[in-house]
């Protein structure tokens, strides 16, 4: 059910929405398991996006550091 092309912000907003539904008791037992599964998938998506962004930033910083030194 999770779309791979969701942005990080959209995924976080959906997770927040699910958490609010759980906290307010708006979900019945039948919906709860599905929402928890959806939140888990969204968290994995966010974790992956954070990991890839971290690697990209590290790569850029290494390139910047290597380009400034003339040894």
Q: What is the pLDDT of residue 5?
A: 85
Q: What is the pLDDT along the chain (71 residues), one digit of tens a residue?
A: 445 689 999 999 999 999 999 999 888 888 999 999 999 999 999 999 999 999 999 999 999 988 655 44
Q: What is the pLDDT of residue 4?
A: 65
Q: Each residue of 15-26: b (16+ CB within 10 Å) or e?
A: beebeeeeeeee
Q: What is the pLDDT of residue 26?
A: 84
Q: What is the pLDDT of residue 15?
A: 97
């Amino acid at each position: 059910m999770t779309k791979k092309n969701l942005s990080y912000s959209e995924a976080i907003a959906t997770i927040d929405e699910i958490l609010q539904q759980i906290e307010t008791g708006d979900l019945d037992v039948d919906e709860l398991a599905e929402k928890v599964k959806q939140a888990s998938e969204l968290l994995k998506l966010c974790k992956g996006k954070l990991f890839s962004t971290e690697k990209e930033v590290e790569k850029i910083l290494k390139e910047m550091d290597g380009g400034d030194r003339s040894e």
